[in-house]
Amino acid sequence: MIETFLLDSIMILLLFCAIGFCWRLNIRLNSLKNISASVTPAIQGFNSIVEKVSLGIQQLKEQTQKTKTLLTTDVPKAQNLKEDLELLLEYAETSTNRLERLIEEAHQTETEIKTVFDSLHRALPKNFHETLKNSEISVDFDALMSKNMTDITPSPSQMNIPHRLTSMPKGLPVSDSIMKNMKNLR
């Protein structure tokens, strides 16, 4: 009987320990439920943030793909445009230099022509027009005055004009035909 009693007592003691353990487990489970209830909104907020981030990442991947597509098509076009602009700039620079050179030559030519006309004016007699009218050379000054410069000058293809006039030697350069006509005027 004592053995039974001891065995029953141990069983009762173990049952009390199990009850105490279950009671403590219940308290901890209730506190865990309370913590879980307070953490649930935070977890839901975290889940919504994760969903928004994943959606943002997906949109970012789509934008990256669109940008990559645009760059693969637009970069070669831009490179070609850049090369075309460089060629145009190079051509414009060459043209500008050529125009500057032509303007400089035109100024020199203008100065040389003024010098020739000034020399002619000083070399010809004062009554040159009257002498020319009475000579074998027939010049209609009124007809010449009514014409434009393009009407009385041949086109550059008809004329053999040097690209640049050389500087004038001292004295008046006169061709043989002009000298012959000048002799006839005297």
Would 110 be classed as within a structural domain? Answer: yes
Is residue 9 in some structural domain? no
Q: Which domain holds residue 140?
A: 25-169+176-185
In a domain, 15, yes or no: no
Predicted confidence (pLDDT) per residue in 11-48, tens digit = 999 999 999 999 999 999 999 888 888 888 888 888 99
Domain count, the chain: 1
**7 located within any domain:** no
pLDDT digits (tens, 9 = 90+) for 122-156: 776 666 666 665 665 555 555 655 655 555 454 55
b vs e for 115-138, b when ≥16 Cβ sit within 10 Å of the residue's Cβ? eeeeeeeeeeeeeeeebbeeeeee
Are 124 and 178 in contact by the 8 Å Cβ rule? The answer is no
Residue 19 is encoded by which pair of tokens? 């009850």
The C-alpha atoms of residue 113 and residue 110 are separated, in whole angstroms, by 5
Residue 16 domain-assigned (yes or no): no
Evaluate whether residue 1 is within a structural domain. Answer: no
pTM check: above 0.85: no
Asked whether 134 and 122 are in contact (CB, 8 A), the reply is no
